[in-house]
Structure 1
Amino acid sequence: MQLEQILRERKEDKDILLMTHIVLGYPSFEANREIIRQMVENGVDCIEMQIPFSEPMADGPVILKANQDSLAAGTTVEQCLEFGAEMAATYDIPFLFMTYYNIIFKYGEEQFFARAKAAGIKGFIVPDVPPEMGTTFLKEAEKTDIAPILIYAPTSTPERMTHLDSIAQGFIYCVARRGVTGKKSEFGEGFNDYLALCRKSTRLPIAVGFGIQDKDDIKALTGRADIAVIGSQTIRLVDEHGPDAVGPFIAGLR
């Protein structure tokens, strides 16, 4: 089943879906297993698994450090592909890979997509590959039925949004503000106008991420977005309190 259809079916009995983010291999794959278990058991609807990269330019200090520590511990792309297959076979929610294009290019686009397809991965978020430069990437996505998830930003023009919508699949990732991940976002009048433009510009579900940290943020998005994305905050929890803190946190978001 395609990612968009899965998400629309999950939303039929929920006001808003939750998507979470983990960095593979951080603090360890064993910890990743426990964190994902707690996320799924407490109602997460979709999980993006980041394959670590040395220069994750869209990510703030929390996720940047997690990438660096994972790489320093020896995490490989092969381990990430195997772990993704394990999680997709274990839990009945969609799993995505998030990474940067250099990882996929070096591995080989055709081979990477084939491995991800075999693993049961439903979509890719690759923030540094614009569609104009990702023609072969998009062809492989279509061939393997893996959704290329594209990104709207506050700086995107209506024309750009419409163009991206014509290419994207699965959902549109709407960046809540300028900058990198991690810093708390404010939902003022300008954000409301931006989110309304995002909704108007796509046929797909919309996800909002970057700085979504607590129940109040989720409440502010409910009824206006289809998916709220929690990223850096769960990593902070693990850093400060360990994996066992993740379940209660996720349970308290809705």
Structure 2
Amino acid sequence: MSLLDETFAKLRSEGRKALLPFITAGDPDLDFTADLLKDFGKAGVAACEVGVPYSDPVADGPVIQASYQRALESGFRLQQLFEMRKRVAAEITIPTLTMASYAIIYRVGLERYIEQSQEAGFCGAIVPDLLVEEAAEFSKLCADRDFNLIQLVTPTTPRQRQVRIAESSSGFLYFVSVTGITGERNELPPQLIDNVGWLREQTDVPVCIGFGISQPEHVAKLGPVADGLIVGSAIVRRIAQANAENRGEVRGEIDRYVREMLAAINAVK
């Protein structure tokens, strides 16, 4: 059982929900990424997703696309992320996952990607563009090595296909709240609660909702039906303000925001 599996098992036994922040590796640099991972652990989030910058992002809105571009222009390399994560391993108290295009994983090599990730301290990978028809090999390798493979379900995914995706996933299922790209939203689809509720009845894999979640009101509405909620663009937008002079201030603002969202999710019954 991976650290992520243990985390969700503990949360379920306590009747609590997970908050999972998303940040982009290397934005504005890997030292800042490391600091945020430490901050998130102190705040009490369940886990953190770390996006691997890619020149052709999958389903990412303008805020996250811009963060990928900033990181790439600063010279980001995947190996640097692994080295950073390994260097601060003793200070990271929460499960961490990479979110990476399958093209990146395939280029590194499936087994090698798992090996390097685990050596660095990552317990799984979210692979947004891995089709379930092509997932069998990677899914088996991940299962054999107790490395979580998180895949996405969208509002337009047929229900039979959702079940197939759940069967080849572990850790949690990433339920995309809306048809479209990532980004903060004021309103979420009314049918979302019913769709997530149905999927949770079909699988024992935890279901977490992402895309558009940015307000405590979203947490109060979706928390009861989901196992966890993912917050990305609202954090990445704040990171974009960071520069050499105001890093402490930006970290403080992000910490206050995350704790506000945590308070909302911890109030969910």
The within-5 A match list for 1:221-240 is 221-240=222-241
- Is the 2:89–2:120 Cα contact (8 Å) retained in structure 1? yes
| Structure 2 counterpart of 1:136 | 137
Superposition deviation, residue 14 in structure 1? 5.7
C-alpha distance 96-185 of structure 1, shift in aligned 2 (>3 A): farther
| Structure 2 counterpart of 1:170 | 171
Superposition deviation, residue 129 in structure 1? 1.0
1:242 aligns with 2:243: no
- Is the 2:20–2:46 Cα contact (8 Å) retained in structure 1? yes
Superposition deviation, residue 44 in structure 1? 1.1
| Structure 2 counterpart of 1:161 | 162
- Is the 1:124–1:148 Cα contact (8 Å) retained in structure 2? yes
TM-score by length of 1: 0.93
The number of residues matched between the two structures is 254
C-alpha distance 10-89 of structure 1, shift in aligned 2 (>3 A): farther
C-alpha distance in 2, partners of 1:79/1:59?
A: 23
Q: Which runs of 5 or more structure 2 residues have no equivalent in the other structure? A: 242-248, 264-269
1:202 aligns with 2:210: no
- Is the 2:20–2:228 Cα contact (8 Å) retained in structure 1? yes
Q: Secondary structure at the match of 1:148?
A: strand
Q: Deviations over 1:24-74 (max 9, x none)?
A: 000111211222222221121100111111111221111101111101100
Superposition deviation, residue 198 in structure 1? 2.2
| Structure 1 counterpart of 2:57 | 56
- Is the 1:161–1:202 Cα contact (8 Å) retained in structure 2? no
What amino acid sits opposite 1:248 in the alignment?
R
C-alpha distance in 2, partners of 1:71/1:124?
A: 20
1:22 aligns with 2:23: yes
C-alpha distance in 1, partners of 2:224/2:9?
A: 14
Q: Secondary structure at the match of 2:252?
A: helix
What amino acid sits opposite 1:136 in the alignment?
E
- Is the 1:173–1:209 Cα contact (8 Å) retained in structure 2? yes
What amino acid sits opposite 1:75 in the alignment?
F
- Is the 2:235–2:254 Cα contact (8 Å) retained in structure 1? yes
- Is the 1:185–1:210 Cα contact (8 Å) retained in structure 2? no
C-alpha distance in 2, partners of 1:89/1:56?
A: 31
TM-score by length of 2: 0.88
| 61-70 vs 110-119, greater mean Cα deviation | 110-119
- Is the 1:89–1:120 Cα contact (8 Å) retained in structure 2? no
C-alpha distance 182-199 of structure 1, shift in aligned 2 (>3 A): same
C-alpha distance in 1, partners of 2:49/2:253?
A: 19
1:112 aligns with 2:113: yes
Q: Secondary structure at the match of 1:250?
A: helix
- Is the 2:193–2:222 Cα contact (8 Å) retained in structure 1? no
Superposition deviation, residue 185 in structure 1? 5.8
